[in-house]
A and B are shown apart, each in its own frame.
Chain A
Amino acid sequence: MTEAQIDGRPASLDAAAQRAAEILSRARLPIVAGLGTDIAGARASIALAERIRGAYDHLESDKIFTDLDVMRQAGRFVTTPNEARLRADVLLFIGKDLTKIWPQLLERLAPAAVPEFDLAHATRKLVWIAPGRAAAQVDGLDVTTIDSNDPHVALASLRARVADRPVNSGKGAKRKIDEIAQILKGARFGVAVWGPELLDSLAIEMLYGLLADLNKTTRFSGLPLGADSNAGGVLQASGWMTGFPMRTSFGRGFPEHDTWRFDAARLVDSGEADAALWISAYGREVPRWKKQIPLIALVPSQVKFDHEPQVRVEVGGPGVDHDSAEFAREVGAIVARRASLPSDAPSVSSVIDRIAQHIGGEA
């Protein structure tokens, strides 16, 4: 039985879809935000955004753009967790939040295990910048750590020393940095691992400069942990549908990408967007904007809003209630997942299709 509500009162899915269509069709600039959904949901959502000439954004865009901005302004190269586990003889971890971002990280990379495809078959070396207490989670190998309040400074110093250029640090700090630089330079295949919260795009550009410098004499690659809510999958779907990442608008009838103008929270709080469709099928995230505008929410049943949305449809979890395709961190690609607990809860794509049916040709 589908749970849908209009103004907090139970309604049929069809009535809810019709009301949602009315709200979105009336708006000057409607937005499709959250976008926490599988590939089918993302495709339906972006197609709907085009139809209603709205803008779309993902709830984890800020994190996705830390890596993406480096890719499109400086260049980058990545590897997969499996490659790292099998081949890396040196791991460079950055930040105390890695296992929080991806709880299976240590299980997947097995730092203490001997890398199977590394010809030397030696124990791995692990360097951890700004580990907090997280380094204690790793058993069975020596971890070289360096505490740093600001990874920008640590990465800059390290890059300078790897390239044998001088730094203006105290003797003790310089000795530590030099020790780590030697470990990195001695790698046969090294992999750097980071998350998008501690490192911003500048720090990541510095890190890629370091990796590029290391690749002059050895091999080193990157493993960004990325963001949740299928941000990586939605990014790819957006790319193949419009040529742009999220934060793209169809306001003028063609896709225009702008990370500042089409930030959903900015659009709502500035008063530029006047209706929103919020999609978060993976979790309990609610919009971050403060201003109240007509809201349609496609969310799981437990989600609580400060102000009840005009229309609310309870959707199933991708890969839980229904089969899904989504970006999987463990392989660094889009994978098909079978429903773990199949149910009748509708998928985001099916609800969006219903809304789209109620939107006239001249929407």
Chain B
Amino acid sequence: MKPLVLALEQEPDQRLDLSPLSPHRLDGKSAKEIAEIEVQTTREKVTVGDLFRIRPGDAQTIVFEGGSTRLDNVGLGLKGGEIIVEGDVGKCVGRSMSGGNLVVAGDAGPYAGSALSGGRLEIGGNAGDFLGGPLEGELEGVTGGLLIVRGDAGARAGDRLRRGTLVIEGSAGDYPGSRMIAGTLVVLGATGVLPGYLMRRGTIALANPPELAPTFLDCGAHELAFASLSSRLLKPESRGAAKLFSSLLHRFAGDSAALGKGEILFPA
């Protein structure tokens, strides 16, 4: 079946909330009904039809041709199916998604993959701050699924990560893996200051670690059984991550200020 294509005709004047444009919410809707969906965030009304040229198709796959940093909540709550964005997106792409596949070719704004609980989110460009992190007042970030950033991520990537895997192939900003509860965060590029600040449990694997806080304790170099499993698991998604996990790993345990049952690994 042909996918449903939404081609962006111009840069929007205001931020748009595209949360209604997910497969489970468009299923069975005609092109006319889709065109009438309101997506504005100010008093000036904007409909899907005002901004996008719609090429009807099976809504199980939605393709956005063109993107903008003003497109927020793309793929919010995605349960299944696929969304492909051939451009940039704004805040909260893939937020709370529990299944399906979401691919952004360009850059993503802050809180990409916020509270992801399942499925796969891939960002081809860079991601903003708080990758996968919880929003104001929420207690958990990512609780499952796979989140891959091919470019760089901003500060505090993987904040309050609880389960699931985040792979950043580029560099990460300051405090990656802050307040981690569990789960796995991998950074292949450079890393900002104080990774794993306040982490309780979980694994942070860094190809290029910065100086660690004194609350991370040297446990020596290991050949870890789980690492080779992780390596095999991540191979189809990220060759860099697979390579990192296949090397001899130096382990630091922390953050001893918090529970101290987490670990930071890097090539020995």
Contacts and interface: CB of A to CB of B under 8 A. Distances in A.
Contacts of B216: 168
Interface in B241-268: 255-258, 260
Interface string B186-199: 00000000100110
Interface stretch (B133-141, B161-169, B230-238): B133-141
B214 A206 contact: no
Contact of B214 (A153, A253, A256): A153
B214 A156 contact: yes
Contacts of A251: 14, 40-43
Nearest to B110: A260
Given A29-B14, A156-B213, 19 more contacts: A28-B14, A28-B43, A73-B138, A153-B214, A156-B214, A156-B215, A156-B257, A157-B213, A157-B214, A160-B257, A165-B215, A166-B256, A202-B178, A249-B41, A252-B42, A257-B136, A260-B110, A261-B72, A261-B91
Contacts of B258: 159, 209
Interface in A237-287: 249, 251-253, 256-261, 272
Contacts of A257: 136
Interface in A160-175: 160, 163, 165-169, 173
5 contacts: A73-B136, A73-B160, A155-B257, A165-B257, A209-B257
A22 interface: no
B79 interface: no
A67 interface: no
A27 to B, nearest CB: 9
A258 B218 CA distance: 40
A206 B136 contact: no
A251 B17 CA distance: 12
A69 interface: yes
A100 interface: no
B73 to A, nearest CB: 11
Interface residues of B, number: 38
B15 interface: yes
A73 B137 contact: yes
A206 B43 contact: no
Nearest to B252: A168
A153 B194 contact: yes
B179 interface: yes
A152 interface: yes
B64 interface: no
Contacts of B197: 152, 156, 202, 206
A175 B172 CA distance: 34
A165 B213 CA distance: 14
A156 B136 contact: no
A156 B198 CA distance: 8
A152 B213 contact: yes
Count chain B CB atoms within 10 A of each CB in A73, A159, A173 and give the residue with the most: A73
A329 interface: no
Contacts of B256: 160, 165-167
Interface residues of A, number: 36
B139 A53 contact: no
Contacts of B14: 28-29, 251, 272
Nearest to A257: B136
Given A167-B256, A168-B216, A29 B198 contact: no
B218 A168 contact: yes
B217 interface: yes
B134 A206 contact: no
A9 interface: no
Contacts of A159: 215, 257-258
A314 interface: no
A53 B42 CA distance: 7
A167 B215 contact: yes
Count chain B CB atoms within 10 A of each CB in A163, A205, A261 and give the residue with the most: A261
Contacts of B179: 202, 205
Contacts of A249: 41
B137 to A, nearest CB: 4
Count chain A CB atoms within 10 A of each CB in B137, B213, B215 and give the residue with the most: B215
A150 B101 CA distance: 41
A340 B156 CA distance: 46
A290 interface: no
A310 to B, nearest CB: 21
Interface string B101-139: 000000000110000000000000000000000101111
Nearest to B111: A260
A214 to B, nearest CB: 13
B175 A29 contact: no
A28 B44 contact: yes
B15 A261 contact: yes
A72 interface: yes
Contacts of B110: 260
Contacts of B255: 156
B138 A152 contact: no
A252 B41 CA distance: 5
Count chain B CB atoms within 10 A of each CB in A152, A163, A205 and give the residue with the most: A152
Contacts of A73: 134, 136-139, 160
Given A73-B138, A168-B216, A272-B15, A157 B257 contact: yes
Contacts of B42: 28-29, 53, 251-252
Contacts of A210: 257
Contacts of B44: 28
Nearest to A271: B13
A256 B135 CA distance: 13
B206 to A, nearest CB: 17
A261 B212 CA distance: 33
Interface string A185-217: 000000000000000001001100110000000
Given A73-B137, A159-B257, A205-B198, A168 B15 contact: no
